[in-house]
Chain A
Amino acid sequence: MSQDGLDPVIHAPARLRLMVTLAALPGGDHLSFTRLQDLVGLTPGNLLTHLRKLDEAGYVRTDKTGGGPSALTTVSLTPAGRAALDRYTTALRQILDVAGPARPS
């Protein structure tokens, strides 16, 4: 945890965007790699790198089905990831409350 209480794994623009996007899905749902890439606007290489960091933290789960050109990679937020995003949102609200207006939705 960083000094300001914001989880450093999440507190980076691309990973924050990834976490929030995945959190928009109901629990138990997952997104294909290509749809997620489309939603967050990252190159495949960058997306893979950020997903690996989130995966290592246990915040997302990636699954690969099939092989070759038809292989499908799916990504979902884990319960630990959802809880971490909730904690991040709470910490961010507290920081912004002290600083002034502009709160995360």
Chain B
Amino acid sequence: MAPSDGKAADYKSDPGSGGPSQKARRQSEGGQAPVIPDTCNLGIVLRTLVPLNALAVVGAIALSSGPIESGLRFLDIALVLEPVALGSLALLCLLRKGVNGTTRWVQWAVALGVPAALASVTALLVPRFAPPDTGDGTAWWVLGRAILAATLAWLFAVYFQLRARAFSPSFSEARLQALQARIRPHFLFNSLNAVLGLMRSDPRRAEATLENLADLFRVFMRDARELVPLDDEVVTCKEYLAIEQIRLGERLRVQWLLDGMPGDALLPSLLLQPLIENAVHHGIEPSAETGTIEIAITQPAERVRVEITNPLASVPPTRGGNQMALSNVRERLMLLYDMEAELKTGVESGRFRLQLEFPYRKERRRRDVRRYFDPDR
């Protein structure tokens, strides 16, 4: 099961990214986070819409004297609020790439101006119940909504900036570094021992195993934030399993179902390997019998879905660290994808089943995934 092609060695899919961009990132670390957050991101969308609507409900209740009136008030507010909020998020998402490079004055102007403008337009279009109908009243009605929209936009912009600072590059990077999948000493020493055991009887296999081990270590020592194509991550997993195969022999069987896999999808390096190691550790190692690990990767809509199942061992593994790998991967997903990734586990027909889903992104948008670390490019 040695790597048959040059892929394994050529992990850096974008050789140019190491140099200048790295420097740019370091330089930008000192600067402030951009005014406009990535408003296409699901997390940001929810963090905007939920409080806004909550505010609308509270306002509607405060301004009315009965439940029915509250409902009507809320509808009244929502009629303006929803189109302005959704429209602003969408527009800012389109504009932010161009604007975030400019001076902060421009950024603020766009961040507050877009919601204000949308609010004005909506206020003109939407029929209102409140009198009076004089020209002066209409002007104030429109201006009032615009000021309200700009104020709310300002509050949200400040909130998201504070949040970005909390997840600031140095903080998140330190966190990610700590979470970086580490090679288990147990695995290292057992693998070296297995190689020594093969050295005299089967030197070729010993060689192939050392090559796999070298590749694996190269990946392990790489930057935890680096994004790699799914194809490469699968090669890493296969190399890892080839080493385990030597140790565990016929006890370990692996079934790959990769027909629907989008090989060009980008994901953080070493996202899958720890999950597969976990499956070996909990499903195969504790049992003396043969067990099969099934790994299926598919692409439902614009997402990548990874499903891993392994047998449930009757006895717990001899070493601890049960939930470590899973909680580690979970936290990494949170830092990298916020709410757009999902990791579920459960037991299904006597097997442990894990399902991981994350957004399907190709080379083109690779940097967006790192928005918290270098949001500015």
State whether these chains interact. Answer: no
Chain A residues within 8 Å of B, Cβ to Cβ: none
